[in-house]
């Protein structure tokens, strides 16, 4: 039996960066930096009146868990309004983006399996939805 390997990170130790779809992200756990193997977890922020680019992932399944703000999420041709406490599963291959339609910053946790990579992100529109 393998020994327990504890992986622990702190928010303050992370650095924000822009993903290929335009999201402002802070990786909380990612194989490239933290020793996890099969997934990643990030905190994403979308300013008021902005959105991510419409995109899809060939291999990655994502979970978005909204923690602050209000968003309009496009999943292929469907639009879903999301609020704090909502969790949405985005299957691989599904076109998606999210627009902040509220009055405060939209904040959500994004869990990816396999872990997020720019290489697995295909931009489908150069205009924010």
Calculate the CA 128 to chain-centre distance.
16
Question: Burial of 90 by CB count in 10 Å (0-12 exposed, 13-18 middle, 19+ buried)?
Answer: buried
The per-residue pLDDT for range 72-119, each reduced to its tens digit, is: 999 999 999 999 999 999 999 999 999 999 999 999 999 999 988 889
Ramachandran bin of 93, using left for φ above 0, alpha for ψ from -120 to 50, beta for the remaining angles: left
Phi–psi pair at 13, nearest 5 degrees:
-85, -10
Q: What is the pLDDT of residue 129?
A: 44
Q: Does some domain include residue 15?
A: no
> Would you say residue 34 has pLDDT above 90?
no
Is residue 7 a part of any domain in this protein? no
Give me the domain span that covers residue 119.
25-123
- Laid out side by side, the sheet with 121-123 consists of 78-82, 71-75, 96-100, 55-57, 121-123
Q: To which residue do tokens 């939805």 refer?
A: 129
Q: How far apart are CA 48 and CA 41, in angstroms?
A: 23
Mean pLDDT of the chain: 91
Residue 49, domain member (yes or no): yes
* Domain assignment of residue 8, yes or no: no
The number of folded domains in the chain is 1
Give the closest residue to 25 by CA, choosing from 13, 16, 33, 34: 16
Q: Does residue 129 form part of some domain?
A: no
Say if 42 falls within a structural domain.
Answer: yes
Residue 64 sits in a domain whose CATH number is 2.60.120.10
Q: Does 66 map to a domain?
A: yes
């Amino acid at each position: 039996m393998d020994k327990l390997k504890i992986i622990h990170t702190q928010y303050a130790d992370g650095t924000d960066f822009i993903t290929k779809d335009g999201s402002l992200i802070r990786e909380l756990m990612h194989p490239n930096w933290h020793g996890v193997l099969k997934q990643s977890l990030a905190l994403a922020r979308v300013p008021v009146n902005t959105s991510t680019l419409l995109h899809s992932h060939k291999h990655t399944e994502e979970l978005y868990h909204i923690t602050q703000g209000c968003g309009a999420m496009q999943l292929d041709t469907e639009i879903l309004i999301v609020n704090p406490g909502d969790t949405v599963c985005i299957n691989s291959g599904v076109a998606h983006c999210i627009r902040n339609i509220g009055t405060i910053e939209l904040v959500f946790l994004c869990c990816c399996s396999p872990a997020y990579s720019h290489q697995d992100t295909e931009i489908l529109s150069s205009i924010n939805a």
